Amino acid sequence: MMSADAQKTLVFIPFPIMSHLVSAVDTAKLLADRDDRLYITILIMKRTVDTKISSYTTKSHHPQINFLHLQENKSIASGSMEDKNWAFLFAESHKGLARDVVVEMMESQKGTLAGFVLDMFCTPMIDVANELGAPAYIFFPSGSATLGLMFHLQSLRDDHGKNMKEYEDSDEKISIPTYVNPVPAKVWPIKVFDNETGFLECARRYRETRGIIVNTFLEFEHHAISSLSAEARVPPVYPVGPMIQGRGEENEENKRKREEIIAWLDKQPHSSVVFLCFGTRGSFEGGQVKEIAAALEKSGVRFLWSLRKPPPKESVEFPGEYEDPEQALPEGFLRNTTGIGKVIGWAPQMAVLSHPAVGGFVSHCGWNSTLESVWCGVPMAAWPLFAEQQVNAFQLVKDFEMAIEIKIDYRKKDGGVVAAGTIESAIRQLMDPENKIRLKVKEVHDKTRAALVEGGSSYNFLGRLLENIMEN
Catalytic residue check, 83 = no
CA distance 400 to 182: 13
DSSP label of 330: P
> Does the structural domain 252-447 have CATH classification 3.40.50.2000?
yes
Q: 4-245+449-471 has which fold? A: Rossmann fold (3.40.50)
Cα torsion through 414, 420, 426, 432, rounded to 10: 160
> What pLDDT shows up at residue 1?
38
Determine the longest span between alpha carbons in the chain, in angstroms: 70
CA distance 363 to 445: 17
Catalytic residue check, 169 = no
The residue annotated as part of the active site, out of 33, 36, 83, 119, is 119
Mapped onto helix, strand or coil, the DSSP state of residue 392 is helix
E strand residue ranges, 169-286: 173-174, 183-184, 211-214, 237-239, 273-277
Neighbours of 77 (CB within 10 A): 16
Mean pLDDT by 10 residues, the chain (472 residues): 66 91 92 95 80 74 91 60 74 94 90 95 96 97 97 97 94 97 96 89 96 98 98 97 76 91 98 96 92 97 96 81 90 94 95 97 97 97 95 98 96 85 98 96 95 97 96 84
CA distance 230 to 220: 18
Residues 333-390: tens digit of each pLDDT: 999 999 999 999 999 999 999 999 999 999 999 999 999 999 999 999 999 998 899 9
Q: CATH 3.40.50.2000: which residues of the chain?
A: 4-245+449-471, 252-447
Mapped onto helix, strand or coil, the DSSP state of residue 361 is strand
CA distance 49 to 77: 8
Distance, CA of 197 to chain centre: 19
pTM score, two decimals?
0.94
> What pLDDT shows up at residue 73?
65
- In contact, 80 and 318? CB cutoff 8 Å: no
Residues 291-326: tens digit of each pLDDT: 999 999 999 999 999 999 998 887 777 888 988 888
